[in-house]
Every structure is written in structure tokens, then in C-alpha cells.
Structure 1
Amino acid sequence: MTGQLIPDRPTPLRAKRPRRTYAAAFMYDEPGPVGRRRILVGSIVSVVAIAAVVGYGLWQFGSHGQLDPARWAPFTEWPIWQYLLVGLLGTLEAAAIVAVLGGLLGVLLALGRVSSVRPVRWLCGLYIEITRTVPVLLMIYLMLFGLPQLGINLPTLWKLVVPLTIANSAVFAEIVRAGILSLPRGQREAALSLGMRPVQAMRHVVLPQAFRNVTPSLVTQLVSLLKDTSLGYIVAFTELLYRGQVLASYLHLLIPTYVAVTVIYLVVNGSLSALASRLQRGPRRRPSAQPVLPALPATPHQEESHV
């Protein structure tokens, strides 16, 4: 009687439900019961202290007449908010241009920092160190007063965009370089073993994984970039803070105007910060399911032994 070997069907492994851990547990050990209790007490004390400071500030504003409804009445009208939102569009325009140009230049600098060519690596490192040392405000003043002495007078937008691009490209470069160095060397070596050229391995294998790892950091840097555009008032660029200054001078309402500007900044930057937190928590929430290995077919030798 001829028998047939039926391969065993492996029992699929169930994905274990991930434990609840702190978001920064990969940086340090998860606190125990005493540590969690101290964190809770510290959080409560901090909230109470912040609430006391805010309450004292509101009391001071009220005692000096800053909470008078007549002072806040102009901000119930749409034309006032429309005037400020035009400045917000200018802020977003400048930030978008800097993000694109600074991001592209930052990727090139990061690739130069990890290059095997020593002069390229040295020049890129020198550029990054210099731009990270020089204040952005100084570079804006050079664009505003230095270049016109040489006969170069850029448009108002680019007097702000160029210094911010130079400064933020160095930060983007370091973020991308950290993402590249965080990957195991085996990723690139495996790509090269498949016949890819080094450029193809970097483009198709290394960079996509590096960007995925540092996406929260890149979004956080965009928040900082958006705040840096407030320096546009120096070159009289129509951005949010500049419009706020003009509106405060026109209405003679300094505190209400800057409170409205602060609210707009909080909404925009808070949305970006929430996006960064979501991107950072997203990959960790996915359970790491173990793959189910398929059953191996019987070899001819095994089939003959069961005849």
C-alpha cells in the first residue's frame, strides 16, 4: 500500500498585544510604581502652578482694564481676522518655500556627510557647523544691508527665505544623517549584494527607511521653522507678526492684538505638534505579528521511505 506524506500544518502564532509603555521608554527604563506616583504628583503640582500664574495674570489684566469688553470688541469682526489671516498666508508661504529648499539642500548635505569621499564629507561638515553657529538674525541683516552694498537687492520674500534656508538646511541635514546612521549596515550591504549600485541602494533602500524613522523630527523642525518666519518683520515682509504690529499701532490695542496673534500661532503650531506626536506613536502601536511559515513539501527521498 502506497502511503502519502502529508506535511504537518503549523499552528499560526498569535500576535501578542503590546504592553502599555511610556512614549520615551526606548530612551530610559520604564518607571515603577513609585516613579509613576512621583510623576503624577509632579504633573498635578505643575498644573496647579500654571493655573495660579494664569489666574494671577488675568487678575492683573482685569485690574488694569485690559479685560474691558470694549477693548476686545474689534476682534469680533471678520475684517480684523481677515487682515491677520493674510499675514498667516504670508507666513505659510515663506515656511513652505524654506521647507522645500532647505529639505532638498539638507538631503544633499546629509549624503555628503556620509560620503566616502573625504573632501566632500569635510566641506559638508564645515558648512553645517558654520551655519549652525551663525545666528539667523545676523544672516537676515547681511541680506538686508550687506548685499545691497554689492549691488544685489533681492525681493522682500527672498530676504527672509534665503537666510532661513541656509540655517534650516543644516538642521535638516543632521536629522537625515541621524536617520541614515540609525539603520543597520546590513540594509545597504543586502542591496549591494542584489546587484544595486551604491546610488540605487541609497535611493531605494536606505533613504526611504531613514525618512520613515525621522519623520516626527522633521515635522517638529517644521514647527520651529514656522516660528522663525516671525523674523520677517525685520525686512518688512507681510507675515503674521508684522501684520500684528501694524494692527496694534492702528487700533492702539497692544495686548488684545498680540493675544489674537498668539492664538493663531498656537492653533497652527499645535496642529503640527499633534501630527508629529501621532507619527511618533503610530508605528509603535502596531503589534509585531509573527509570520506563519508555510509547510515544506515532501522530498522524493521522504516519499520513497513511506512506500
Structure 2
Amino acid sequence: MKSRSPALFDELGPRGQKRLKIATVVAVLALIGIVGGALAQLAHVQQLTARLWEPLIEWSNIRYLLQGLLTTLEVGLTGAAISLVFGTLMGLGRLSTHKWVSIPCAGLIELFRAIPLILLVYFFLIGLPMFGWNLPPFWVLTIPIVLHAGAVFAEIVRAGVNSLDRGQFDAAAAIGLRRGQTMVLVVLPQVFRALRPALVTQVIRTLKESSLGYVVGYPELLRDGQVIGEFNANFVQTYAFTAVIYIVINFGLSRVAELLDRPKKVRRRPDRPAPDPDPEPAASQPAGTLV
């Protein structure tokens, strides 16, 4: 049986494993100490009393937060879908052999990657009305997310295309496919299949970026949590509850990314026996020998 060993580093010896266990225990104890100290401080300032947590179990407040969650999902998923299309086109444009296409695409990608997202939001919130363009709050928030996330998507697509073997393009050209047909029929399906975890990670990122809705007054989850915290005078408790909702949603999407990245198991027909994992080598017979 072949031994399995890491390809990038050697396995830890007994002394290294002992040090790793000690470091793990120290880190866990430090984390417990930090959490315990934070809870003790909150209890000292009377932030753990039931009076401040009771509004979060009232159905009216829960329904209000669920409405904010729906609008957050609406912005996040819409931004992710549009930015995927936008990023794919920009990434392919940057890979174009025509300079009049690749240079502008490269410039836009680097521009939107360099500008902080909140500055893009302020530009659409304050700058566009100066030119007479007044967009709804949904698009004032969604378009900057699309531009920012689309630039990241473009680099992901470009890296995926460049990682493919050159033989893919040569084989497509050998059967008469043009460059555009090769990209659509051969290259992009393989790129999206290989980059599914990275794409799901970008979806998670767009969901978190939708929390900038408070800047434009859009009623997303964080904005609704701020309203409830102001109404009930329990900012710490409401923000903690809102953070739990974000963690649950993002953890679920992370699990989806892990499942997509997991290789599929080959199903064996029940009427066929399993192959011998380590067959015995056949004994060699001299020529002309009868068995």
C-alpha cells in the first residue's frame, strides 16, 4: 500500500506534533479568556440583562429583520448574477488579441479594483444626481457592487482561462472552431467548473457588501437592525443577533462551495463485483509450457 504524505511539506515528527498540540491548547485557552472577559465586561455594564434581549424574540421585530434579510438576498444575488456576466465579458475582453478591446477592459478592471466600494457608492449617491441622473436606492447600491465584484470576477475568469492547457485551444482549432466558439463551447465550461468554489466565495462577498445599504438608506438587514436597535435602545444585542444571521447565511454558502469542490464518487453497478484493489501479479510461464 502506498503511503500518503503531503506534497508541499513533510509530516510533523513527535516533537513537532507535541508543539502543535501545545500551541492549539494555548490558542483555545486564549480565545476562551477573550470571550469570557468580553462577557464579564458586558455583564458589568448590564448589557446581558433579559430586558435588552427580550425584544429580539418578539415576532414584530423578527419579521422586520426577515424583511431586511430578503432585501439583502435580493441585492446580493442580483449583484452576483450581473457581476458574473459583467466579469466574464471583461475577463474575456482583457484576453482579446485586439488591443482596442483588451486595453480598455484592462483599464476598467484595474480601476474598479483599485477604488474602494464605498467611494463608488458615494459617487452613485451624490455624483450622479449632479448630472441629473437619479437612480432608485436599489440600483444606487447594486451597480457599485456589480462594478466592484465584476472586476474581481474578471480576474478569476482570466486566471482560469490561462490555467488551461494550450492543447485545448489547439484541439478546438483542429476541428474547425473559431476563437469565439472555442471560448464559449470548450473553455468557459471548464473554467466555471473548476472555479465554482471561488465563484461561490464571490457570492458571499456580494452579500456582505450589501450591508452598505445604510449609506443610501436602503432597508437591508444591517439597516433594519440599526432601526430596531435605536427603537429598543439595545444596539449591542441587535447587532449581535444580526451578525448571527450573517454568519448562518455565509456558512451555508461556504458549505455549498465545499460540496461543489468535492469530487464525485463513481457509482458502481450492483451486478458487477468491485475490482481487486491490489491484484496479485500473474506468474510468468516459459514459452511453450502447457498449463
Larger deviation: 70-79 or 265-274? 70-79
Indicate if the aligned counterparts of 2:83 and 2:150 stay in contact, CA closer than 8 A.
yes
Q: Percent identity?
A: 41
Question: Could you say if the C-alpha distance between residues 150 and 273 of structure 1 is closer, same or farther in structure 2, counting changes exceeding 3 Å?
Answer: same
| CA distance in 1: counterparts of 2:40 and 2:251, whole angstroms | 26
| CA distance in 2: counterparts of 1:111 and 1:31, whole angstroms | 41
* Of 33, 56, 77, the match for 1:52: 33
1:186 aligns to what? 167
Q: CA deviation at 1:44?
A: 3.0
- The RMSD of aligned alpha carbons is 2.3
| CA distance in 2: counterparts of 1:190 and 1:36, whole angstroms | 49
2:141 aligns to what? 160
Asked if 1:273 is matched to 2:254, the reply is yes
1:119 aligns to what? 100
2:89 aligns to what? 108
Q: For 2:195, what is the secondary structure of its paired residue?
A: helix
* Of 126, 129, 153, the match for 1:148: 129
Indicate if the aligned counterparts of 2:77 and 2:206 stay in contact, CA closer than 8 A.
no
1:32 aligns to what? 12
Structure 2: 5+ residue stretches without partners: 267-291
Q: For 1:238, what is the secondary structure of its paired residue?
A: coil
Q: CA deviation at 1:253?
A: 0.9
2:240 aligns to what? 259
TM-score, normalised to structure 2, is 0.85
| CA distance in 2: counterparts of 1:222 and 1:157, whole angstroms | 18
| CA distance in 2: counterparts of 1:170 and 1:190, whole angstroms | 30
1:171 aligns to what? 152
* Of 62, 70, 90, the match for 1:89: 70
Indicate if the aligned counterparts of 2:125 and 2:216 stay in contact, CA closer than 8 A.
yes
TM-score, normalised to structure 1, is 0.81
- After superposition, the C-alpha distances for 1:267-287 in whole angstroms (9 at most, x for unaligned) are 01111122223333x02x758
Look up the equivalent residue of 1:259 and give its one-letter code. Answer: A
2:58 aligns to what? 77
Moved over 6 A (4+): none
Q: How many residues align?
A: 267
- After superposition, the C-alpha distances for 1:206-252 in whole angstroms (9 at most, x for unaligned) are 11111111111111111111111110100000100100111111111
2:228 aligns to what? 247
| CA distance in 2: counterparts of 1:192 and 1:47, whole angstroms | 57
Question: Could you say if the C-alpha distance between residues 132 and 202 of structure 1 is closer, same or farther in structure 2, counting changes exceeding 3 Å?
Answer: same
Between the two structures, name the one with larger relative contact order (CA 8 Å, sep ≥ 6). Answer: 1
Q: For 2:85, what is the secondary structure of its paired residue?
A: helix
Question: Could you say if the C-alpha distance between residues 101 and 86 of structure 1 is closer, same or farther in structure 2, counting changes exceeding 3 Å?
Answer: same
1:11 aligns to what? none
Q: CA deviation at 1:265?
A: 0.6
1:301 aligns to what? none
Look up the equivalent residue of 1:241 and give its one-letter code. Answer: L
